[in-house]
């Protein structure tokens, strides 16, 4: 069975989406619509902007959403039996699978991105990737630090990202290195995503989600918050909000999908990050970019 996956923040790159725009006339409709919805020329930044232009959260998240969802909308091979997205990518998955319209999904992503950016400015924090040590050791170290710090992204075995107050992140990195972690890398991000420091962003996003029309998706969406397949729109809305302050259970989601019979994973949007993570979770499954 086939599953379709959508990347999150960090997969952006200069020129993203330009190949779709130049080679597929249908895509031009959606790129134009995106500029109208956002009320600024985001496609110019996507096609011609530098890495610095694309790194700001308020630009990055809508850009990745646009690229990913347009990829699904113009592909004749997009016929999902299941779907999942990494963090921001969950919104892409929901739009591609008809739970929310392209326009509404883009509006929510823009609101989410701006709310997260504001939360970062109010409550500065940081994140770090911890490599080559058991998740349980990382969890234990975080729980024993008397500051805001928690697991944020369970990406694959041996790769867990932590998030929280900057001084707590530094303490954890030092302790985990001493305990045998192969690497502890402070990430170049603007704040502590998927932690308690994003609570104000969740509050701001809640109103917008409640004002948006959701449908039951055309296939199960394996959500970040609980790594379970969801088809009920009310459960999906609740889990989208919980996602902002809780860890992304990506490794657990992929494992559950494989247990449920999905052996072929197709990535949409920019980059190949998720294919690499999925192969580290289970080297026996098939991964590829979705062909248009």
Active-site residues, by number, are 87, 194
Helices (H), 123-232: 135-143, 166-178, 199-210
CA pair distance 290, 103, nearest whole angstrom:
22
Question: What is the SS3 assignment for 159?
Answer: strand
Q: Are strands 126-131 and 183-186 parallel, antiparallel or unpaired?
A: antiparallel
Q: For 5, phi and psi rounded to 5 degrees?
A: -125, 150
Element (H, E) at 5: strand 2-6
| CB neighbour burial string for 118-149, b if at least 16 within 10 angstroms, e if fewer | bbbeebebbbbbbbebeeebbeebbeebeebb
Closest CA to 269 of 75, 22, 131, 53: 75
CA terminus-to-terminus distance, the chain: 19
CA pair distance 54, 61, nearest whole angstrom:
9
Q: 77 is written with which tokens?
A: 């091979």
Contact by Cβ (8 Å): 39, 257 = no
């Amino acid at each position: 069975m086939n599953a379709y996956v959508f990347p999150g923040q960090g997969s952006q790159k200069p020129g993203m989406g330009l190949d779709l725009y130049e080679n597929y006339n249908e895509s031009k409709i959606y790129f134009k619509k995106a500029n109208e919805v956002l009320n600024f020329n985001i496609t110019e930044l996507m096609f011609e902007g530098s890495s610095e232009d694309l790194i700001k959260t308020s630009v990055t998240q809508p850009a990745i959403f646009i690229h990913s969802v347009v990829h699904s909308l113009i592909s004749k091979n997009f016929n999902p039996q299941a779907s999942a997205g990494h963090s921001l990518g969950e919104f892409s998955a929901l739009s591609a699978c008809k739970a929310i319209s392209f326009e509404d999904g883009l509006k929510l992503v823009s609101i989410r991105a701006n709310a997260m950016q504001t939360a970062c400015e109010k409550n500065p924090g940081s994140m770090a990737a911890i490599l080559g040590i058991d998740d349980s050791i990382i969890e234990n170290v975080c729980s024993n630090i008397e500051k805001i710090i928690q697991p944020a992204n369970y990406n694959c075995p041996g790769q867990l990202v932590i998030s929280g107050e900057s001084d707590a992140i530094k303490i954890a990195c030092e302790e985990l290195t001493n305990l045998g972690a192969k690497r502890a890398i402070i990430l170049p991000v603007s704040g502590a995503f998927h932690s308690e420091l994003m609570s104000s962003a969740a509050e701001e996003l809640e109103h917008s989600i409640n004002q948006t029309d959701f449908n039951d998706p055309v296939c199960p969406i394996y959500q970040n918050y609980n790594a379970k397949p969801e088809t009920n729109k009310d459960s999906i809305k609740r889990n989208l909000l919980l996602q902002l302050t809780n860890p992304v259970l990506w490794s657990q989601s992929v494992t559950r999908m494989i247990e449920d019979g999905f052996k072929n994973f197709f990535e949409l949007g920019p980059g190949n990050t998720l294919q690499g993570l999925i192969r580290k979770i289970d080297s026996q499954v098939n991964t590829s970019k979705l062909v248009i």
